Amino acid sequence: MDMMKIGGYIQHLRKAAGLTQKALADQLGISFQAVSKWERGEALPDTGLLLELCDALNTTADKLLNGGSVLLKNRRLMRVEDVIAGFEHMEKMGSCFGENCDFFTGMVEGIDRKMNIDLLDYLSHRKTREALWAEVLIQGILAGRTVDLDEVDANFTNKKMVFEIRKFLEKTAENQ
């Protein structure tokens, strides 16, 4: 960990929030000297204060401890079951809101236009449904997230989709 980088990031966020060292310290129940030491890179925040500090500075612990950077090797895991559930929820919107509801038709039309597909038709066939799941997973991978390949293997019957997901995971791992 680069303590100087972390300290500089804390200082940047504190100033951006319009807080003095004393104001931040008071909010956390510590001395302003502790905040000063963090910002000079002489010390790190106590783990017991980390989440409260992140809330005060409107950041996350991983971003704070990386000095404002999000490292790709620490990518967040995308769960295949969450992607599947997301598509199931999209389908349920039609019955919950009504097939002619502007919210539902607007969502479907927007996806149809953006993806150049017929979403409802794609969702009605297992093969094309898996293609949608794979597309979401690949977009996530390209955005810096990761996927458990065992979970992909367990949920996909289309091995071509599994191959494509694996290919993107390997490509992003090589680029790190």
pLDDT value for 35: 94
The residue type at 95: S
pLDDT value for 175: 65
What's the CATH number of domain 3-70, 1.10.260.40, 3.20.20.190, 1.10.10.60, 1.10.3210.10?
Answer: 1.10.260.40
> Residue 32 pLDDT > 50, yes or no?
yes
DSSP class per residue in 50-95: HHHHHHHHT--HHHHHTTT---GGGPPEEPHHHHHHHHHHHHHHHH
User: Which residues of the chain does CATH 1.10.260.40 include?
Assistant: 3-70
> Residue 103 pLDDT > 50, yes or no?
yes
3-state secondary structure of 146: strand
pLDDT value for 72: 45
pLDDT value for 75: 61
The residue type at 118: D
Q: Which of 124, 84, 86 is nearest to 107 (CA)?
A: 86
pLDDT value for 66: 83
> Residue 108 pLDDT > 90, yes or no?
yes
Q: Which residues contact 98 (CB under 8 A, 6 or more apart)?
A: 104
Q: Which residue has the tokens 């009504």?
A: 98
> Residue 163 pLDDT > 90, yes or no?
yes
> Residue 15 pLDDT > 80, yes or no?
yes
Q: What are residue 77's phi and psi, to 5 degrees?
A: -80, 130
The average confidence (pLDDT) of the chain is 90
Average pLDDT over residues 36-54: 92
Q: How confident is the model at residue 47 (pLDDT cuts 50, 70, 90)?
A: confident
